[in-house]
Amino acid sequence: MLPAVIVVLMLISFTRGENPAIQVILTRKGLQYGKHLGAGWVQEKLEHITLPDFSGEVLAIHYILTGITITKCDFPEPIVEFNPNNTGFTTSISGLSVALTGGWMTHFGLIHDGGSFKMAIFGLDVTSVVELGKDPDGHLSVTSVSCDAQIGDVDIRFEGGASWIFQPFVEHFKGRIRGEIRSKICPNVEESIVSLEYHLQAMEVSIQVDEDLVLNIPLTGVPVIHASRMILGLKGEFYDMKTRKRPPFEAQNFTVPEQPDYMLSMGLSEFTVNSASYALYSGGRLQVLINDSMIPPYIHVRLNTSSMGPYVPQLPKMFPGLLMNLQVYASEVPMFSFQPGVVKLELAGAVKASAIEPNGTQIPLFKLNVDLKFDGKVWVAAGRLKGSMALQNLTLTLAGSEVGHFETDTLESLLKMGVMAGLAKLNVELGKGVVLPRMRNAQLVNTVLGVEEGFIAMCSDAEVFTDSFN
């Protein structure tokens, strides 16, 4: 069941002394859901497993119990709790009973005998305490702190062979069998914790977004465990694989408000978004060369010197009949800031305009600085992440000119119209939204999202497709 609990923790598909930019919080409700899934999974598994052969010696008779299968299992709902004392979980099952069948074989010197048996184990109690931590690479780690197993009683019935001879002795050696079974439970629990640890070590602590862009998500510290929730702090920093430059700003501390009615909460700092912005900017990806053929045919303003007459009156006279191109680029890192209810975006860009001679030679004309401010909203509706953006301010200034001074007011109005038209199209897409990230074995449901000072908080329930565990 513990594996299932951890799977739930890891759904959201991990360096030292840093503030985490992404926080993933599992509430008690989430833990209980994970436990419930885990219990169902264990129950189902138990009904289909064949236990390893079991051998021992009683009264100088060597016996082997083989082909042991579970015929019935009464699996009470386990108890799983956060354990702040051990930075982990305590899992306990109390009153489990199991009915088993199998074959028996005995060797007593040269005498071999065999038959079948039925066994019932009653009042099985198991308590396991695990500790969560972080390995040097930022993976989540899990280790067993303690395990305790008790067995109430064992009843065993042998059939066939000379079972009638030794059946009466069962009462005398069933204590031994009980002890042997008991001694095998905790090593098995510990083995499954080791295998879980192995899976955790194999998890990627970075996500390749595209050829150059990577999101780093190692744990920034050991998990924080309270009685009511567990908080995983992840680095949440994007970087460009080619430049490998770290952003010149740091993640700020933030606290995601407690939401016990949801299984999970998540906080995403504006740092993460801005690190993406920085990676794209420093990787030279926030630039575009615009030429006339990229301007849709229905727009009557063409990118040529004649068409620019109303905006830059001297152009058609100085360079008649030449096509133009515009080199548009971000002159600073576009920065997002999260404030209660709004996402603000500030863009500082520049446009370098050139005329193109028929032989391809480019003639620099002028350079404009463009400052844009946007206000955005984000929300979740019908399982989709949606948004909208509005232009707050646009200012255009002439930064340099090879063609002499000109007023930028008309050009600014033209650009504003262009940006508004672009936003209208963008808002149609943002309004349709994108489906919330859906993992191979889980999806988020009842998701609520809100923008807070410095971070976006999301609370959600999760639905896990248990068939994918098999």
Ligand X SMILES: *[C@@H]1O[C@H](CO)[C@@H](O)[C@H](O)[C@H]1NC(C)=O
CB nearer to ligand X: pick between 87 and 388: 87
Q: What distances in angstroms separate CA 265 from CA 275, 306, 452, one per listed residue?
A: 22, 57, 14
CB of 227 to ligand X, least distance (A): 7
CA–CA separation, 22 and 62 (whole Å): 59
Residue 15 CA to residue 232 CA, distance in Å, equals 13
Q: How far is the CB of 394 from ligand X (least distance, A)?
A: 8
H/E stretch holding 358 reads none
Name which of 280 and 323 has its Cβ closer to ligand X. Answer: 323
Phi first, then psi, for residue 97 (nearest 5°) are: -130, 145
Q: What is the DSSP string of 383-452?
A: TEEEEEEEEEEEEEEEEEESS-----HHHHHHHHHHHHHHHHHHHHHHHH-EEPP-BTTEEEEEEEEEEE
Nearer to ligand X, 102 or 247 (CB): 247
Q: Which is nearer to ligand X, 146 or 195 (by Cβ)?
A: 146
Report which of 45, 6, 10, 22 is spatially closest to residue 456, judged by C-alpha positions: 22
Which of residues 392 and 468 has its CB atom nearest to ligand X in the complex? Answer: 392
How far apart are CB 356 and ligand X at their closest, in Å?
Answer: 7
Question: Applying CB under 6 A, which residues contact ligand X?
Answer: 19, 83, 85, 253, 255, 291-294, 302, 304, 306-307, 321, 323, 357, 359, 361, 392-393, 395
Give min distance, CB of 377 to ligand X, in A. 18
| Smallest distance from ligand X to CB 300, Å | 6
Amino acid at 389: M
* Residues whose CB is less than 8 angstroms from the CB of residue 187 and which lie 6 or more positions away in sequence, other chains included: none
Q: How far is the CB of 5 from ligand X (least distance, A)?
A: 16
Q: Which two structure tokens, joined as six digits, stand for 466?
A: 């248990």
Say how many C-beta atoms besides its own lie within 10 A of residue 308's C-beta: 23
Q: 66 or 307: whose CB is closer to ligand X?
A: 307
Query: What is the nearest approach in angstroms of ligand X to the Cβ of residue 446?
Result: 28
Q: Which is nearer to ligand X, 291 or 468 (CB)?
A: 291
In 241-361, beta strands by DSSP E: 264-269, 287-291, 323-330, 335-339, 342-356
Structure tokens at 367: 């350079």
